[in-house]
Amino acid sequence: MSERSIPPERANTEVERFLRSESPGRTPFAQLASDVFASIGWLAERSQCPKIDDGMIDDVQAFAAYAPFCDAFTIDRHFAHVLRTPPMTNLLPSDTAIFAANELGRLESWLIAVESGAPAGHFDLLSTIYGPAWLEPYAGILDPPGTPRDDASGGGSR
């Protein structure tokens, strides 16, 4: 507020004015979450609605927050049903691939296609940026720094 020369005594009024405006509803999160909830309502009207619980609400919020910025999203099969049923199928971010947790074979095929489609020199660039061990999984995230790690692939410490 101070950067916009709004006096402190007017700050609350300006925040409230913004929140009551149409601007928050124009965000990708709000639009996508609204679309998902509307699709859930559409399914409920047809007696096809999955159980609405805290997990489903969390799924909607996570999906709406991250899907516009992801190439692929893995979700449970109930939420996948919501996203794959019209009208939601026409409202998804256009390039976001959806995989249910029980479709790991499809996900693996998609990942192989992404890897195969990488431009020449892409993996060399990744090695330059992240170092030669960029493909090794970082499984020791909870280990204290400097702790040697033994894994099945014979890797050393990280």
- Name the more confident of 18 and 30: 30
The pair of three-digit structure tokens given for residue 19, joined into one six-digit string:
């929140």
Res 10: pLDDT: 85
What 3-state class would DSSP assign to 116? helix
Q: State the residue for tokens 């960029």.
A: 134
Q: How confident is the model at residue 104 (pLDDT cuts 50, 70, 90)?
A: very high
In the chain, where are the structural domains located? 2-117, 119-158
Element containing residue 98 per DSSP (H, E): strand 97-100
**N- to C-terminal Cα separation, the chain:** 45
Task: Answer yes or no: is pLDDT of 157 > 70.
Answer: no
Report whether 90 contacts 36 (CB < 8 A). Answer: no
Tell whether the model's pLDDT for residue 20 goes beyond 50.
yes
Is pLDDT larger for residue 21 or for residue 114?
114
Burial class of residue 68, CB neighbours in 10 A (0-12, 13-18, 19+): middle
What mean pLDDT, rounded, does the chain reach? Answer: 84
pLDDT of res. 119: 96
Q: What percent of the chain has pLDDT over 90?
A: 32
Question: The tokens of 12 are what?
Answer: 């609350």
Distance, CA of 122 to chain centre: 24
Return the axis-axis angle of helices 28-45 and 54-66, rounded to nearest 10°.
140
Residue-level pLDDT at 116: 95
How much is the pLDDT for 148? 64
Where are any strands of DSSP class E within 28-96? Answer: 72-75
Over the stretch 29-41, which tens digit does the pLDDT of each residue have? 889 999 999 899 8
Query: Tell me, what's the pLDDT at 149?
Result: 57
What pLDDT does residue 56 have? Answer: 87
In this structure, what is the dihedral angle of CA atoms 25, 29, 32, 37, given to the nearest 10 degrees? -80
Q: Is the pLDDT of residue 87 over 90?
A: no
